[in-house]
Amino acid sequence: MPHMTRENDAQHRRPDPRDGAGRWFRVVTRSGRARVREFVVASDPGLLRLTAGLRTVGAIALTLAVLAPLGADVPHLVAGAIAAMVATFAVRDKERPAQAGTLALGLPVALAAVTLGALLGSHVVAGDLFFVALIFCAVYGRRFGDRGTALGLIGFQVYFLSLFVGATVSGLPSLYGAIGVAFASSALVRFALVPETPAGTLERLRSAFRARLAQLVTAQLELLDAGPEDVDKALGHVREGTARLHDTALMIQGRLEAGTADESVARLVQRRVADAEVAAERLGLLLLSARSAERADTLTLHLPGAPVPAGGLLPVRDKATDTLRRDLEALRLLVLRPVSAGHGTALAQVRNRLLGYRDEENLPVAPPAVQDVFRGVGETARAVLGLRVALDGPQDESDDSPATARSREELDAEDAAIDAGEEVTEEELTGLRRPTTRAAVQVAVGSLLAIVGGELLSSQRWYWAVLTCWIVFINTASTGEILVKGYRRLVGTVLGVVAGIGLAALVGPHTWTAFALVLVCVFLMFYTAPLSYTLMSFFVTAALGLLYTLLHTYSFSVLVLRIEETALGAACGVLAAALVLPVRTDRRTNDLLVAVLDRLADVTETAVDQLSGGPPADLLDRARDLDQALADLRAATQPLTHPVTPLRARRDTARYVVALLETCAYQARALAATAELLPTHPSIAADPRLRGAGQRILRNIRAIAAHVADEHSTDEVRTGPSIAALLETGGPDAPRFGRVTDRVLRHLGRLDEGVVGLARPLRVPVARPQA
């Protein structure tokens, strides 16, 4: 009895406020950690930048930790550190056995390069000619894939290392030892301390996609609540979130083959990622239309600075928008926390409610545009469900509503219809038409000019000009791209010299403090490289200032010389690109624009044909080929859209054309996603009208492509009755396939508007509308 009394007393005892505070603190702490983790995962998809920085710094630190107790002097410590860095960042193979093979082959290449550097160091002419030949071979080796690129990079950088530390024949044995330790340290860090597998990278990219999808939903919620003074900022966040989600989808696409067990799994993940991306982008467009007095143009989501549609009913505080706000919060929760046995029935009920909007269940009384947003929330919830099933496997179905059960049946039917697809081979260019051959000739000529000019500036450190000339040709394909990259490197170098002066003064004679700061600079160099080439150059130059301090060759004049050699190397690179087998920026962008238009026509034609009753086709790969072609075009137009370009009108035109193409690509992706559903969904029927509706679009795309390829082309863009006129398929009681046809025709209509809109900036003649 006393035991029962104490138990009852405990049950009725007033709670200790400290217990509640403790629980609250733990919840807040966990929530804070989760938010930080989401931010890190979303800001660095796959943690690729963090992994690259940690792996490189780890290899350098381990090399120094091994060499220092062995009594290595500072030049050999520097040589080991540089060799470890090169051995780590040069290897880009995706599979671990291939990485090990490249490292094993890289060691003899490195030893041969440092040997030749020491032997030819005192023979100026022979050494310079060999350096040019080595540069040619290193660039030409890129045609042989990741391994050829890595071996060429190792050979060039280690030869440069021999010049930097002043390698001599008598000192070769100790340099061999330092390089051997560096490669062994790189292997240990890569395969044991900071391991990376294709499957692990893909898993982290999936997490990043979820985090960025949740951030996009948060931005859309911000757009819903934004007042007139904040709507531009909120729309900017939606644009940024949409672009970041698309970039992550492309990164996943590039790693599916190596990171999944078989082709069918890869295609399943590819389809689910594409569905989620299209649904989220469409939800943003529907939200923008709902808060506007007119239908929002898709271009508004892709063109920075595009005017916001005229304000309408939103933001308001009524029951429907309060419900919409709640449902967007619930959608974000579903993205981040999958419904499973461990989360109970609460989230399952939320998911069931959102999926019910797809079948018109419990739609709030609201204007049609707001109801469309609820339907968009339901479609996005369905895409999130498919993404969860694809990434996390089967889930508890005990709490499914009829709407959720139907969604699962649709997803299962789609999964069963996935096949491995067909591999498409492209024509391989030969001779000087091959990009690697042309780049090898250009960089060899540019390096020869840099050697001559560098020797005139300094007979001791002329190699900095050659290094800059080499670097500006990496991942560039036109004169304009090389000019922009050279400009960014020069700016980063100038700023890095200022930082180097300050760091050198701070470090003084403290060797290990200098090495510690070098490690910090190296980490930041790799972490910021994908974000800003200027920042990367800044940290490279700051680290070099510290290395000069370690080698006791630091002076203000040396850092000034570094700026001069960098400017000379960039100028030589631009000059070689402009005069030797030049690829003009206009020509390259035109070629890439034609490629984008060809892929746009391919996706549109195949999707419309399938939606019209044609045979199933591989639409997802075609859509991703379109996305990749568009990404290449966007990168190639950087010289035209750079803030310092004096051709402002041309810059605005390039931005407008790319934004219009992104809009067209979105509509094509939406058509492809709908067409992929056709073979497996009895509720979606083929509609022969669609084939006729798509013919005008295809003719116009091909007319624009012909005009871009040949300005003397006589093809014209044709206009006519709006494709929206075909939307007379019935009222609200129309069958399910009728509403799907309506949506397809709307996508075709907006695609038609986007394609016709391309005619004006590209100066393609437009024929008079036909009666």
DSSP codes of every residue in 184-235: HHHHHIIIIIS---HHHHHHHHHHHHHHHHHHHHHHHHHHHH--TTTHHHHH
State the amino acid at position 400 in one-letter form: D
The pLDDT confidence band at residue 1, using thresholds 50, 70 and 90, is very low
Q: What angle do CA 224, 227, 228 make, to 5 degrees?
A: 120
Distance CA 370, CA 289 (A): 8
Per the listing, tokens 């490690």 go with 519
Distance CA 160, CA 167 (A): 10
**Tokens encoding 88:** 């780590």
The pLDDT confidence band at residue 546, using thresholds 50, 70 and 90, is confident
Length of the chain: 771
Distance CA 516, CA 513 (A): 5
The pLDDT confidence band at residue 425, using thresholds 50, 70 and 90, is very low
More confident residue, 229 or 347: 229
Q: How many CB atoms lie within 10 A of CB 3?
A: 7
Distance CA 249, CA 612 (A): 28
Phi first, then psi, for residue 672 (nearest 5°) are -65, -40
Asked which of 38-52, 188-202, 298-312, 379-393 is least confident by mean pLDDT, the reply is 298-312
Question: Does position 475 have pLDDT exceeding 90, yes or no?
Answer: no
Span 646-680, pLDDT tens digits: 566 677 888 888 888 998 998 898 888 888 766 55
Phi first, then psi, for residue 761 (nearest 5°) are -65, -25
Say whether the peptide bond before residue 688 is cis (omega within 30 degrees of 0): no
Phi first, then psi, for residue 357 (nearest 5°) are -60, -25
Question: Does position 683 have pLDDT exceeding 80, yes or no?
Answer: no
What is the CATH number assigned to the segment(s) 586-759?
Answer: 1.20.58
The residues near 564 (Cβ < 8 Å, ≥ 6 apart) are 457
* DSSP symbol at 422: -
C-alpha distance from residue 35 to each of 43, 350, 372 (Å)? 12, 22, 31
Q: Are 667 and 702 in contact (CB under 8 A)?
A: no
State the amino acid at position 716 in one-letter form: E
Span 610-632, pLDDT tens digits: 887 778 778 888 888 999 999 99
State the amino acid at position 547 in one-letter form: L
Q: What does the DSSP assignment read for 240-309?
A: HHHHHHHHHHHHHHHHHHHHSSSHHHHHHHHHHHHHHHHHHHHHHHHHHHHTBSSPPPGGGGTSTTPPPP
The pLDDT confidence band at residue 403, using thresholds 50, 70 and 90, is low
**What pLDDT is recorded for position 400?**
66
Question: Does position 332 have pLDDT exceeding 70, yes or no?
Answer: yes
Q: What is the pTM of this model?
A: 0.80
**Tokens encoding 714:** 């006589």
- Domain residue extents for the chain: 43-196, 198-306+322-417, 430-583, 586-759
State the amino acid at position 559 in one-letter form: L
- Which residues make beta-bridge pairs with 766? 717
